[in-house]
Amino acid sequence: MSQGKTSSKDDKLKWWQLSLLGVACTIGTGYFLGTGIALTMGGPAVIFLFILAAFGTYMVFDALARMTAADPQQGSFRSYAKKAYGRWAGFTSGWVYWSSELLIMGSQLAALSLFTRMWFPNLPMWMFAGAYGLLGLGIILLGTKGFERLENMFAVMKIAAILMFLVLAGAALFGMLGQGAYAPKVPATGPEVWPGGGMGLWSAFIFAFYAFGGIEIMGLMAMRLKNPKEAPKAGKMMILLLTAVYIASLVCAVILVPVGAFDSKESPFASALNHYNLPFVPHVFNSVLIIAGFSTMVASLFAVTTMLVTLAGDHDAPKMFSAKKGSAKLPFTAIGFTAAGLAVSVVTALLMPESVYEYVTTAAGLMLLYNWTFILITSGKLLKLSGWGQTKRWGGILLIALAVVGTLFHETSRPGFFISLGFVAVISVVTLIMRSVWKKQGGSEGGPGKKAQGHESGPPSGHDEYEPNVNRPVLPHRRKSYT
């Protein structure tokens, strides 16, 4: 099940193929359910926040894509952090990313449980979380081929769900679906546009950013481009497509449903359709939402496990996590550790059945933004940026900072902020301890790298793309196996 030799030229991607893959990988419960939380906190005015988040996301990806174009690395942002600031930076970046994926995994489990309760309202969330977690682990054990087939199918279903909603919403707006519980209306007054006031709107900013979570995967996938220098163009198209889809669907939702009727525990798009005489469509749509959420949850499982294997292979995690056993060459120790993380998510769902999604989603979004901030900081070290480049870089940092600070002003998002700080504090302490260990061992922490000069450096010919190497730190591709 090893990947063996690197992909041939025929297997490489064109820039537009990378854009479409990025759209499919990014759309998940951050969009399908997180938007419901944003609407209940900030009202229809959050549509403006999604536009700002799109600009911030573009600035992050533009920096990452330019580093990729100048110096393609399998490890993407983790490799660039290590090159710019030394081993401690690669260690910290890797573990922050691992932690964010772990939180995303818990967030997806909570979202899946909330969706499923539409059919079984009397059953507790932890039962659904446990079932989906076990099923996800089973898919990991199937290996690369089974995962690839399922993920491709899931990606198609995500796009189909959005198109289905837009078609049905358009039909509802033109009166083709009959009379619903609410008459379509464009929000016009202040209380209708931002019912939570300025603070509620500001606090919802994090969920707008979270809907774009996953663009860092584009950096990992950029190594598969026929021409890595086209990575910036691929990112621009991806973000334009995502923004158009998000804005169009949100506009339809807020016209069809009064803001007070949205429920943070239900997809706003399902809420918009549930008030029409469509007995089967809400159930079909909910099924697709579950499939979409399950897809991103399984991808997070792969990311968490492969990151652990990679960190272990780079001596930044216990060596036992990189050991592979059995005929399938699976890292059972790493998978077991991932299963323990899943178990914690299930227990959390049991203890906090009503609030877990908002808390975990906020923390997961914040951990991603911390990683994005480090990407922007790293780009200033490795790239020769023009005045406009520096403006974009600092503009992205400012938008991210606004989203982070905004979580402090709402009771829904505030606990997630402190959860994320707890993760960062633990990782920081461990990093300080490890720096002392590295010095005592006489090993080098590495040093700041030179400015990227535009050369390309891919993995050695014949080298397994996912086999960890001390001199070539790598990050896992979500759609590839760690075997």
Q: What is the pLDDT of residues 110-128, one digit of tens each?
A: 778 878 888 888 888 788 8
Q: What is the pLDDT of residues 351-366, one digit of tens each?
A: 765 666 677 778 888 9
pLDDT at 400: 95
State yes or no: pLDDT of 212 exceeds 60.
Answer: yes
Q: What is the value of pTM for the model shown?
A: 0.78
State yes or no: pLDDT of 197 exceeds 60.
Answer: yes
pLDDT at 7: 43
> pLDDT class for 453, splitting at 50, 70, 90?
very low
pLDDT at 455: 37
What span, in angstroms and rounded, lies between the C-alpha atoms of 365 and 232? Answer: 23
More confident residue, 154 or 252: 252
Q: What is the mean pLDDT of residues 196-210?
A: 88
Name every residue whose Cβ is closer than 8 Å to that of residue 169 and which is 6 or more positions away in sequence.
249, 252, 253, 256, 269, 272, 273
State yes or no: pLDDT of 8 exceeds 60.
Answer: no
The phi, psi pair for 225, rounded to 5°, reads -70, 145
Cβ atoms of 474 and 74 closer than 8 Å: yes
State yes or no: pLDDT of 476 exceeds 50.
Answer: no
Looking at every residue in the chain, the average pLDDT score rounds to 77
The phi, psi pair for 13, rounded to 5°, reads -95, 150
More confident residue, 44 or 183: 44
pLDDT at 178: 77
Q: What is the mean pLDDT of residues 24-33?
A: 74
Inter-axis angle of helices 87-116 and 125-142, to 10 degrees? 120
pLDDT at 25: 67
pLDDT at 56: 93
Cβ atoms of 153 and 295 closer than 8 Å: no
| Cα–Cα nearest to 396, from 416, 371, 419, 421 | 371
Q: What is the mean pLDDT of residues 20-48?
A: 81
Lowest-pLDDT range of 5-9, 141-145, 366-370: 5-9
pLDDT at 373: 93
| Cα–Cα nearest to 456, from 72, 126, 29 | 72
Q: Which residue has the tokens 């450096």?
A: 457
Q: What is the mean pLDDT of residues 161-176?
A: 84
Inter-axis angle of helices 356-382 and 76-85, to 10 degrees? 50
Cβ atoms of 374 and 96 closer than 8 Å: yes
pLDDT at 386: 86
Name every residue whose Cβ is closer than 8 Å to that of residue 73 and which is 6 or more positions away in sequence.
79, 80, 83, 223, 457
Percentage of the chain lying above the pLDDT 70 cut: 80
What span, in angstroms and rounded, lies between the C-alpha atoms of 233 and 243? Answer: 16
More confident residue, 11 or 344: 344
State yes or no: pLDDT of 454 exceeds 50.
Answer: no
pLDDT at 352: 65
Lowest-pLDDT range of 24-28, 218-222, 469-473: 469-473
Cα first-last separation, the chain:
6
Cβ atoms of 381 and 81 closer than 8 Å: no
Cβ atoms of 264 and 36 closer than 8 Å: yes
State yes or no: pLDDT of 447 exceeds 60.
Answer: no
The C-alpha R_g of the chain, in whole angstroms, comes to 22
What span, in angstroms and rounded, lies between the C-alpha atoms of 456 and 68? Answer: 9
Cα distances (angstroms) measured from residue 50 to each of 247, 366, 370, 449, 473? 7, 16, 19, 35, 34
Q: What is the mean pLDDT of residues 157-184?
A: 81
Residue 288, both tokens: 């697709």
State yes or no: pLDDT of 151 exceeds 80.
Answer: no
Hey, which residues does 225 pair with through a beta bridge? Answer: 13
State yes or no: pLDDT of 224 exceeds 80.
Answer: no
Q: What is the mean pLDDT of residues 184-192?
A: 80
pLDDT at 51: 94
Percentage of the chain lying above the pLDDT 90 cut: 13
More confident residue, 205 or 178: 205
Q: What is the mean pLDDT of residues 404-429?
A: 90
Residue type, 141: L
SS3 for the chain, per residue?
A: CCCCCCCCHHHCECHHHHHHHHHHHHCCHHHHCHHHHHHHHHHHHHHHHHHHHHHHHHHHHHHHHHHHHHCCCCCHHHHHHHHHHCHHHHHHHHHHHHHHHHHHHHHHHHHHHHHHCCCCCCCCHHHHHHHHHHHHHHHHHHCHHHHHHHHHHHHHHHHHHHHHHHHHHHHHHCCCCCCCCCCCCCCCCHHHHCCCHHHHHHHCHHHHHHCCCCCHHHHHHHHHECCHHHHHHHHHHHHHHHHHHHHHHHHHHHHHCCHHHCCCCCCHHHHHHCCCCCCCHHHHHHHHHHHHHHHHHHHHHHHHHHHHHHHHHCCCCCHHHHCCECCCCECHHHHHHHHHHHHHHHHHHHHCCCCHHHHHHHHHHHHHHHHHHHHHHHHHHHCCCCHHHHHHHHHHHHHHHHHHHHHHHCCCCHHHHHHHHHHHHHHHHHHHHHHHHHHHCCCCCCCCCCCCCCCCCCCCCCCCCCCCCCCCCCCCCCCCCCC
